[in-house]
Amino acid sequence: MKVLKVGILGLGTVGGGTYTILTENKAVIEKRTGCSVEVARILDRRKKEGVPEYLYTEDPDEVIACSDIDLVVETLGGIEPATSFMLQAMEHGKHVVTANKAAVAANYQKLTETAAKNGVQFLYEASVGGGIPVLTSIQNELQGNNFLEVMGIVNGTTNYILTKMTEEGADYADVLKDAQAKGFAEADPTADVEGIDVANKLSILIALAFDKYIAPTDIPTTGISKITKADIDAAAAEGCKLKLIAHAKLMEDGTVEASVAPEKIPFAHPLAGVSNEFNAVYITGDMVDELMFYGKGAGALPTGSAIVGDIIKVAKTK
Ligand code: HSE
């Protein structure tokens, strides 16, 4: 049987979820790809129970420059050194799969160009909407459309906080701690609550849906840290829920208007029913009309599921 050797940079929440899926669902992955996907090396100092010690290294070159590895999974998070590691891995002829929205959004052009130049695949489905296969759909089944509008709830932490504040009158700081404990939040949750994580994801959605690169730092961004129970009640009195929305719209002059901000979403709109750590991306195409993708936007296994989907795309080409 063919073998695809995988190196993982960072065995935290998402890297750990990826390892679990590759191990527990090994048989079904083999059946569907005709390829044995084997984790050959892991860069991390922390050792996880159940993961053989001999797989670990503290030297990134043993993953990104090792001739034995076919594909590198980057789940370190943060822009650097993650971006440099991904670029080096591609230059060494390795396919790269990542969940790292900050790195992809900040260095989208450099990463995609380097992959093309080196004839390798660069796949990042897990970077937006966790387990929801929205990027693949935009890049494949929906390619016959001009996209007119994209609206997304794409941060599990803030949607969890807003849901608990709305439904249970919970305190902002308490729910944030709860979201961190559940593994939804970033290492520094400022990126979640101030909308930075959403701006990163919106930059990626815009690049794919509108073929335009807008840097996340150029997207006007407001988070939820100043939202109070009074704001939530005022929205409810108008028949709406407050949701942190990534919003991009094609304007008549061909430009794309983008924003990240809390928006009042009418109770009857499908996005109003998206609760807790669930995410949804609501897309309008000129031919398909309105579509909504819905699923778990954060957490080890949903995000790992998207990473493994990308690994499988590569395994099928082996
Ligand atoms: N912190 C992110 C979230 C993780 O809460 O959605 C998934 O990108």
Whether residue 288 is found in the same domain as residue 146? yes
Whether residue 86 is found in the same domain as residue 54? yes
Q: Report how far ligand 1's centroid is from the alpha carbon of 190 (Å).
A: 12
Whether residue 45 is found in the same domain as residue 164? no
Q: State the virtual CA torsion across 195, 201, 202, 207 in degrees, nearest 10.
A: 150
Query: How many structural domains are present in the chain?
Result: 2
Ligand 1: which of 155, 198, 224, 296 to mutate, most ligand atoms within 8 Å of CB?
155
Q: What is the CATH number of the domain that holds 49?
A: 3.40.50.720
Instruction: State which residues form the domain around 286.
Output: 137-295
pLDDT above 70 covers a percentage of the chain that reads 100
Catalogue the long-range contacts made by 117-122 (C-beta closer than 8 Å, 24 or more residues apart): 118/90, 118/91, 118/93, 119/93, 120/90, 120/93, 120/94, 120/95, 120/96, 121/95, 121/96, 121/313, 121/314, 121/317, 122/86, 122/90, 122/95, 122/96
> pLDDT per residue over 8-35, tens digit each?
999 999 999 999 999 999 999 999 999 9
HSE on the CB side for 243, CA within 13 Å? 28
Q: Where are the beta strands (DSSP E) in 114-255?
A: 122-123, 147-153, 240-250
Whether residue 309 is found in the same domain as residue 242? no
Rounded to whole angstroms, the Cα distance separating 282 from 121 reads: 27
Q: Which atom of ligand 1 is nearest to the CA of 184?
A: 5
Write out the two tokens for 204: 């990626």
Q: What is the CATH number of the domain that holds 260?
A: 3.30.360.10
How many CB atoms within 10 Å of residue 45? Answer: 8
Whether residue 240 is found in the same domain as residue 199? yes
Q: Which atom of ligand 1 is nearest to the CA of 298?
A: 7
Whether residue 150 is found in the same domain as residue 282? yes
Q: What is the pLDDT along the chain (318 residues), one digit of tens a residue?
A: 999 999 999 999 999 999 999 999 999 999 999 999 999 999 999 999 999 999 999 999 999 999 999 999 999 999 999 999 999 999 999 999 999 999 999 999 999 999 999 999 999 999 999 999 999 999 999 999 999 999 999 999 999 999 999 999 998 989 999 999 988 888 789 999 999 999 999 999 999 999 999 999 999 999 999 999 999 999 999 999 999 999 999 999 999 999 999 999 999 999 999 999 999 999 999 999 999 999 999 889 999 999 999 999 999 998
Number of residues in the chain: 318
Q: Report how far ligand 1's centroid is from the alpha carbon of 298 (Å).
A: 5
